[in-house]
Amino acid sequence: MTITKLDQLVDLVKSKPKKRLVAANANDAHTIEAVYAALELGVIDATLVGNPEEIEKVCKEHNFDMSKFTIVPEYVDTKAAAKACDLINAGEGQILMKGLLPTDKYMRAILNKEKGLCPPKATLSHVTVIENPAYHKLLIVGDVAVIPAPELKEKQAILKYLIETAKALGIDKPKVACLAATEQVSVGMQACVDAALLAAMGSRGQLGNAYIEGPISLDLAIDQETVEIKKFKSDVAGDADCLLFPNIETGNVFYKCCTKFNHAELGALLKGAKVPCVLSSRGDSAKTKMYSIALAALMA
């Protein structure tokens, strides 16, 4: 079954064996609320690494049963992140989640050469699944948060992660749009050159079982009327499953336009580490974090 709504994703994960999530510095209400919701739905089991007094305070305020969590005491955010990675490496969890700590500290723990979760030469990338009311299905996009200016090799890794995520959502042959400002191959625009190379590699089967189009503009990728007006012939145009952004500015602006203008819901995770890592903003809603947990559980 192809997943077209994030609630369907939650239902799918509920039917599978539960994974254990380890949340780093899980002292804030949004993180605990999201983890508890996922726990109550039967999506995960949960370990919270953080300040037990703060966790207990949040649980009392929200009437959560604290006994349903495994609590690992740690009072310093960097140490909590390191401890969470230790638990994952010891086989005591299959999903990592960021709690109340800055992204750079979370990433530092994951990237630690001795005790982190990053395999040698791995490319870490942020993948977001967006349910936008203005679009007819889910959009899987990257990278909006981690790699500032991906080069061709990094774009290959991002594209691979997008395709893997799409397949996990039941899309047998995902339609991937490698975005640029134009569908014309302009040698003066690196985004166009890279997109054309990726499309050529895709047509030769080098990037897996997917339709890969590029360069292609955003309107051509997602709007059928534009496709008809421009008479653009493509398996991807007007019906993209995945959007590969040329840089972080493009991706981040698109992501925030979806959430702020269209009130889109989303789930997001970091791929490339030993386990899926939930990397949402500290300001994200509990619902967004819960969807992110479900996505990570699906990919674990």
What's the pLDDT tens digit per position in 243-290? 999 999 999 999 999 999 999 999 999 999 999 999 877 667 778 888
What's the pLDDT tens digit per position in 70-107? 999 999 999 999 999 999 999 999 999 999 999 899 99
Whole-number pLDDT of residue 282: 60
Q: Is 187 helix (H, G, I), strand (E, B) or coil?
A: coil
Q: By percentage, how much of the chain surpasses pLDDT 70?
A: 99
Q: Phi/psi at 299 (nearest 5 deg)?
A: -85, -15
Structure tokens that stand for 5 in this block: 């709504």
Provide CATH code, domain 125-261.
3.40.718.10
Structure tokens that stand for 137 in this block: 């299905």
What's the pLDDT tens digit per position in 173-182? 999 999 999 9
CA 174, CA 210: separation in Å to the nearest integer? 5
What's the pLDDT tens digit per position in 143-153? 999 999 999 99
CA 298, CA 183: separation in Å to the nearest integer? 34
Mean pLDDT of 291-297: 95
- CA dihedral (93, 97, 100, 104) positive or negative: positive
Of 238, 190, 231, 247, which Cα lies nearest the Cα of 213? 238
Residue position matching structure tokens 């005491």 = 73
CA 48, CA 29: separation in Å to the nearest integer? 12
Domain boundaries, the chain: 6-121+274-299, 125-261
What residues form DSSP beta bridges with 198?
A: none
Structure tokens that stand for 264 in this block: 């889109």
Whole-number pLDDT of residue 283: 64
The CATH classification of domain 6-121+274-299, taken from the options 3.40.50.300, 3.40.50.10950, 3.30.565.10, 2.40.10.220: 3.40.50.10950
Question: At 123, is the pLDDT very low, low, confident or very high (cuts 50, 70, 90)?
Answer: very high
What's the pLDDT tens digit per position in 3-62? 999 999 999 999 899 999 999 999 999 899 999 999 999 999 999 999 999 999 999 999
Q: What angle do CA 3, 138, 179 make, to 5 degrees?
A: 140
First to last CA, the chain: 19
Residue position matching structure tokens 């929200």 = 62
CA 8, CA 279: separation in Å to the nearest integer? 21
What residues form DSSP beta bridges with 45?
A: 20
CA 142, CA 131: separation in Å to the nearest integer? 14
CA 73, CA 142: separation in Å to the nearest integer? 34
> If you write DSSP's letter for every residue of 81-92 in order, what string do you get?
HHHHHHHHHTTS
Question: At 294, is the pLDDT very low, low, confident or very high (cuts 50, 70, 90)?
Answer: very high
